[in-house]
Structure formats: C-alpha cells, structure tokens
Structure 1
Amino acid sequence: MHQSEQSKSIPEFLRYKHGSSAAVKGLGNNPFYGLAHERDGMSVALKFTTALGEQKAIHYHDLVSPMEYNGDTEIQLCTTRIQVIIVGKNLQQLFDNIIQHRVIWIKEPDSSFTDVEKDEVQVSSIRFEDFQ
C-alpha cells in the first residue's frame, strides 16, 4: 500500500497533535458527551471525566452484558471489576449511542448552570463502584 493511502486510513483523531483537546471533542454539540465520527467506525474506549477533573477510561470490549438503562434517569455499565452509574435526564439517546460503541467521552457538568435544550441529554453525575 502506498504511503498516502496508509495516511488516509488512519482515524482522524490520531492526526491531532499530542495534548490537543480537539482529539477527543467528538461530534455533536452536547456538553455531556461526544460521538466518534462514522467514518472512523466504532470507538475503542469510553472516557469518563468527573466535575473535579478525574478521568477514567474503559475499553468497550471490557463491558459486560447486559448494559442497562432504566428508561428514565440511570444507565449502568459493568466490567468484571467496576460498575459505572450514569445519572441524568433524557438518557435514551446516550444509551443508544453507547450500545453502538459510538460514544467517545461522557462528562459531569462543571457547574450546575450548563445550558442545554429541554429534551437533550443531561448528565448530572457519574459514579464508579468497585466490585469486591
């Protein structure tokens, strides 16, 4: 394969300079989550950022079925070591994108004054519970 053809096959986010926040910005304009571009395929991992700036990432292949959404305010994701509980409003679209491995990142709000439309996804908290 020619060098220029190889460059075209590298996902867009890998071409950004190291440390660039644009590399994990994702598609859409929701302040609580970002999506991988369809041309890049499914996301490899899901990054979580708390309001305090703490970060965790879980590879999608480590998620254990079933992924659960209670139809209202809570999504539960599990690995063999940890359970992630995402609490918020209007989480159906977020859940649908998670099960399709399209979500790159999810974050808690930096303040209680995050401006979103009434029917858009809103994340209020992300909790991590270790399994004993």
Structure 2
Amino acid sequence: MANLDPEVEAREGFLTFLKSQRGALHHIADTSDDNFVLAVSIVSRAGLPQAEVAKKIGVSQSTISRWSKGVNLPSNSIIRKALFSELIKAFDEYVLKMTNPDARVDEPEPPLAHGARHMRRNARAPV
C-alpha cells in the first residue's frame, strides 16, 4: 500500500536514490588523484557561475577558476563540503518536486513564507 503523505514518500524515494549512489559518492570522496576531474565536475554540475559556486562552498572565485584550469586542486575537506552541499540541494529539489510537481526548482522561497514556517516550528502550545 502506498504511503499517502507526499513528504514521507519524497524522503523514502530520496533515501533509495542515495543508496543507489553510495558507491559513486564513496569513491569520489576517497579519491585524491582524481581531484582535477572532480573539481571541474563540481563546478559544471552546479549549473551556476563560478562566483556562486565559490560562495556556496566558501572559496574565492579565482580558486574555482584555478581548479577548472588544473592549476590547483581542491582539498579533500572542500570536496566533502561540496558533495554535502550538492546532496542537500538534490534533496531539497527532490522534496519540492514530490510535494509540488508544478513548482520551479530555481525559484527561491519568498522571505515571508520562510519566516512563517520558522515561527510555526518554534511556537509553543498554550499552557
């Protein structure tokens, strides 16, 4: 019997996806000699300008540029941070698509909606 809660279905589906990718992610995170290929992959898969990728993972735009050219290579800690960031983004997109198939993934949430959700989450029940 299918679960009717779209959020639960989204989580279960995403966990299945992650399990299917576990071998690839483990290999990428533990391989230091393929850092050049990985650096280029991180930048290109993000689908963002180099400056935006740099901001998201906490490095300068010139660092991203040097990685893309093979001048420097990212450290393993930066690689793990980028992979984690990519997984979080993928999860958010997956949940959004499962709970609202018509929503555009690249649309940011309106600030008021975020604030209202935050207030509901932190509100205490009357005593």
TM-score normalised by the shorter chain: which range applies? Answer: under 0.3
Considering only CA atoms, is the larger Rg found in Structure 1 or Structure 2?
2
Q: TM-score, normalised by structure 1?
A: 0.23
Give the structure with the larger strand fraction.
1
